Amino acid sequence: MANYFNTLPLREKLNQLGVCDFMENDEFLDGVNALKGKKLVVVGCGAQGLNQGLNLRDSGLDVSYALRKEAIEQKRDSWKNATDNNFKVGTYEELIPTADVVINLTPDKQHTAVVSAVMPLMKQGATLSYSHGFNIVEEGMQIRKDLTVIMVAPKCPGSEVRAEYLRGFGVPTLIAVHPENDPEGKGLAQAKAYCVGTGGHRAGVLKSSFVAEVKSDLMGEQTILCGLLQTGSILSFDKMVEKGIDAGYASKLVQYGVEVITEALKHGGVSGMMDRLSNVAKIKAFKISEELKDIMRPLFQKHQDDIMSGEFSSTMMADWANGDANLLKWRAETGETAFEKTPAGDVKIGEQEYFDNYTLMVAFVRAGVELAFETMVEAGIKPESAYYESLHETPLIANTIARKKLFEMNRVISDTAEYGCYLFDQACKPLLADFMKTVDTDLVGKNFNEGKDGSVDNAELVAINEILRDHQVEVVGRKLRKAMTAMKSIKTA
């Protein structure tokens, strides 16, 4: 199988990268009708599979689960999840031939095996749905020409997809139709109906393409979302310990700090996050984040280039073929870092303290979000797509770090994201070595405002505020966030 993107002429590459349409509410007035009465068969019953299926059924659709024979015979968790909720469960052979829509919600790595097994059983003119395009775009899976291929990707963990639905809301969702597989022209209508069925239409839907989704998703997860949060967390912790800050305090500040700081990002974008700092601290954070952007830009560009050329995916797939040797080794190394091994101390850290004592992370996040966004947009990805894969997802990933540090982040994200995260982390740490020598505890560990009188140059502050607010990620973000009206308040541990 050849990399699909690389088989395209440049004009078609640009064309597919540029698919990006933030859909209006009135585009969903047809509700779930395009799927009403159709047989939906979900393959896989993990967190996404189960929770999406529960939502789709509660929206009046006919849902059942196809599992591998062994999973059924051995009554594995996926079988229990489906049967305990009274879903019909059967083998591929039993259920796939009757399916009008086959919804593939297995882990990325299994896609080739699953799709190869399922495709011959699918009936003429049926639809195959993905939630991530890696298999189509990077692995180049060829789908039978009579089948329609769509993507529906809720941009949140499975439990969140269910929780938001039951509140009467939903999670932001990305949909796409594969241009090589839309023989009857029904793909978009079905993807929209699917989205209504999971509640996604209430929280903002972005129409994208398989190509744009994959190329932006990989870039986001490797750089700002996982890579930089990992690097920033480890460097911050090590710096505090080096400077004599209590290790328990340092561990807690880092573990929960990213979550609190990026919650502000979720509500008010980069400028909203920066506004949580005092004026003096904001000016400082601005200056060091500018410096960080200069240092890290070539690394962000390298990641984007390797993603576009297929270099990244072919390297990673070689590691898959090698029994994940590199992935497992790097995972073990991350588990051995001092930050990972130091439990959070039993100290109360107030919400504002996470900003005042962790100015460095604010600078890291601003630099990372803007760099990832800028690099994606320069590579032909539309700003709305770039926003989702950078700023929007950062708080979601930060939330996993708050739960159980980097271990939890790397457990929850896909193996693909994890692999890219380690690549970034290994290259980024040496790059920042000189910069980190200039960092003291006023930026990480202690209150930046301490011993300063708080006065700033007005003209400088005004200029900085303008630069922050006029950045394209902010302009796009303000529009998109309006659609996602239900925001939860900032939590503090």
CA 488 to chain centre: 19
Out of 111, 132, 178, 471, the active site residue is 132
| Token duo for residue 361 | 């992370």
Tell me the window of 164-172, 357-365, 414-422, 458-466 that interacts with other proteins (CB under 8 A).
164-172
Closest distance of CB 304 from other proteins, Å = 34
Q: Which of 53/420 has CB closer to other proteins?
A: 53
Q: Residue 327, Cβ neighbours under 10 Å: how many?
A: 19
Distances (CA, A) of 424 to 205, 218, 227, 285, 369: 30, 12, 5, 23, 15
Which strands, in side-by-side order, build the sheet including 21-22? 21-22, 205-207, 173-177, 148-154, 127-130, 101-104, 39-43, 62-66, 88-90
For this structure, is 132 an active site residue? yes
Closest distance of CB 56 from other proteins, Å = 10
**Cα torsion angle, 93, 99, 103, 109, sign:** positive
What is the C-alpha separation between 214 and 153, in angstroms, rounded? 11
Residue 267 engages other proteins in binding (rule: CB under 8 A): no
Residue 136 engages other proteins in binding (rule: CB under 8 A): no
Residue 23 engages other proteins in binding (rule: CB under 8 A): no
Closest distance of CB 105 from other proteins, Å = 15
Q: Which of 162/471 has CB closer to other proteins?
A: 162
Residue 168 engages other proteins in binding (rule: CB under 8 A): yes
CA angle 242, 276, 428 (to 5 degrees): 45
Q: Which of 58/238 has CB closer to other proteins?
A: 58
Burial of 37 (0-12, 13-18, 19+ CB in 10 A): exposed
How many C-alpha atoms does 273 have within 13 Å on its Cβ side? 32
What is the C-alpha separation between 130 and 30, in angstroms, rounded? 22
Specify the residue for token string 């009467």: 168
Residue 81 engages other proteins in binding (rule: CB under 8 A): yes
| Token duo for residue 423 | 């690549």
Question: Which residues, numbered 41-80, are part of the site for other proteins (CB under 8 A)?
Answer: 47, 50-51, 54, 57-60, 77-78, 80
Closest distance of CB 171 from other proteins, Å = 12
Q: Are 170 and 160 in contact (CB under 8 A)?
A: no
Binder among 22, 28, 169, 435 for other proteins (CB under 8 A): 169
Specify the residue for token string 């966030």: 481
Residue 411 engages other proteins in binding (rule: CB under 8 A): no
CA 449 to chain centre: 34
Closest distance of CB 84 from other proteins, Å = 3
Burial of 197 (0-12, 13-18, 19+ CB in 10 A): buried
Closest distance of CB 361 from other proteins, Å = 21
**Cα torsion angle, 64, 209, 218, 328, sign:** positive
Q: Which of 36/243 has CB closer to other proteins?
A: 36
Closest distance of CB 166 from other proteins, Å = 5
Binder among 341, 404, 411, 479 for other proteins (CB under 8 A): 404
Closest distance of CB 37 from other proteins, Å = 7
Q: Are 125 and 147 in contact (CB under 8 A)?
A: yes
Residue type, 71: A
Residue 162 engages other proteins in binding (rule: CB under 8 A): yes
Binder among 116, 314, 322, 485 for other proteins (CB under 8 A): 485
Tell me the window of 103-111, 162-170, 370-378, 440-448 that interacts with other proteins (CB under 8 A).
162-170
How many C-alpha atoms does 97 have within 13 Å on its Cβ side? 4
Binding mask 190-229 for other proteins (x = CB under 8 A): ------------x---------------------------
Dump strand ranges (E) for 191-246. Answer: 205-207
Closest distance of CB 57 from other proteins, Å = 7
Can you give the C-alpha Rg of the chain in angstroms? 23
Identify the CA nearest to 401 among candidates 410, 393, 392: 410
Q: Which of 329/404 has CB closer to other proteins?
A: 404
Residue 343 engages other proteins in binding (rule: CB under 8 A): no
Q: Count the residues of the shown chain that bind other proteins, applying the rule CB under 8 A.
A: 32
Residue 124 engages other proteins in binding (rule: CB under 8 A): no
According to DSSP, residue 344 is labeled: P
In 275-323, alpha helices (H): 279-309, 311-321
Q: Which of 50/396 has CB closer to other proteins?
A: 50
Which residues are CB-neighbours of 377 under 8 A, at least 6 positions away? 383, 386, 472
Residue 406 engages other proteins in binding (rule: CB under 8 A): no
Closest distance of CB 246 from other proteins, Å = 21
Q: Which of 159/309 has CB closer to other proteins?
A: 159
What is the C-alpha separation between 445 and 330, in angstroms, rounded? 28
Binder among 23, 117, 119, 163 for other proteins (CB under 8 A): 163
Binder among 2, 166, 463, 467 for other proteins (CB under 8 A): 166
Q: Which of 36/478 has CB closer to other proteins?
A: 36
Q: Which of 57/243 has CB closer to other proteins?
A: 57
Binding site for other proteins (CB under 8 A): 32, 36-37, 47, 50-51, 54, 57-60, 77-78, 80-81, 84-86, 159, 162-163, 166-169, 202, 403-404, 485-486, 488-489
Active site residues: 132
